[in-house]
Amino acid sequence: MSVKTMETQEVIELLEKVAGFDRPAGNDRVKTIIHRVMHDVFQIIEDLDITPEEFWSAVYYINELGKNGEAALLAPGLGMDKYLDIRMDAEDEQAGLAGGTPRTIEGPLYVAGAPMSEGFARLDDGTDTGAEVMLLKGVVTDENNRPLANAIVDVWHADSKGAYSYFDPSQSEYNLRRRIKTDAEGRYLAQSIIPSGYGCPPEGSTQALLTQLGRHGQRPAHIHFFISAPGHKHLTTQINLAGDKYTYDDFAFATRDELVVEARPVTHSAQGERHGVTGPVTEVEFNIQLVSTDRQDRQAMHQRQRVMA
Ligand code: MBD
Ligand code: FE
Ligand lying closest to the C-alpha of residue 76 = 1
CB-based pocket (< 6 A), ligand 1: 73, 76, 105, 107-109, 198, 219, 252, 254
CB atoms closer than 10 angstroms to residue 88: 15
Q: For helices 52-67 and 205-212, what crossing angle results, to 10°?
A: 140
Query: Which ligand 1 atom sits nearest the alpha carbon of residue 238?
Result: 4
212 Cβ contact list (under 8 Å, min separation 6): none
Chain centre distance of CA 20 = 34
Query: Which ligand 1 atom sits nearest the alpha carbon of residue 251?
Result: 7
Chain centre distance of CA 22 = 39
For position 309, what pLDDT does the model report? Answer: 84
CA–centroid distance, residue 225 to ligand 2 (Å): 10
CA–centroid distance, residue 219 to ligand 1 (Å): 7
**Which protein residue's CA is at the shortest distance from atom 2 of ligand 1?**
198
Ligand lying closest to the C-alpha of residue 105 = 1
CA–centroid distance, residue 241 to ligand 2 (Å): 12
CA–centroid distance, residue 18 to ligand 1 (Å): 35
| 46 to 5, 13, 57, 61: CA distances (angstroms) | 8, 17, 17, 20
pTM of the shown model: 0.97
**Which protein residue's CA is at the shortest distance from atom 7 of ligand 1?**
107
CA–centroid distance, residue 270 to ligand 1 (Å): 33
d(CA 160, CA 192): 11
**Which protein residue's CA is at the shortest distance from atom 3 of ligand 1?**
107
CA–centroid distance, residue 175 to ligand 1 (Å): 17
CB atoms closer than 10 angstroms to residue 20: 16
pLDDT below 50 — which residues of the chain?
A: none
CA nearest to 147, candidates 92, 108, 184: 184
Query: Which ligand 1 atom sits nearest the alpha carbon of residue 106?
Result: 6
Q: Which of 68, 70, 73 to mutate to test the pocket of ligand 1 (most atoms within 8 A of CB)?
A: 73
Looking at the DSSP assignment, which residues form a beta bridge with residue 135? 191, 283
Query: Which ligand 1 atom sits nearest the alpha carbon of residue 162?
Result: 2
**Which protein residue's CA is at the shortest distance from atom 5 of ligand 1?**
107
For position 1, what pLDDT does the model report? Answer: 66
CA–centroid distance, residue 287 to ligand 1 (Å): 22
Q: What is the 3-state secondary structure (H, E, C) of the chain?
A: CCCCCCCCHHHHHHHHHHCCCCCCCCCHHHHHHHHHHHHHHHHHHHHCCCCHHHHHHHHHHHHHHHHCCCHHHHHHHCCHHHHHHHHHHHHHHHHCCCCCCCCCCCCCCCECCCCEEECEEECCCCCCCCCCEEEEEEEEECCCCCECCCCEEEEEECCCCCCCECCECCCCCCCCEEEEECCCCCEEEEEEECCCCCECCCCCHHHHHHHHCCCCCECCCEEEEEEECCCECCEEEEEEECCCCCCCCCCCCCCCHHHEECEEEECCCHHHHCCCCCCCEEEEECCEECCECCCHHHHCCCCCCCECC
Q: Which of 103, 106, 109, 222 to mutate to test the pocket of ligand 1 (most atoms within 8 A of CB)?
A: 109
Phi/psi-derived region of residue 46, left when phi > 0, alpha when psi is between -120 and 50, beta in every other case: alpha
**Which protein residue's CA is at the shortest distance from atom 4 of ligand 1?**
107
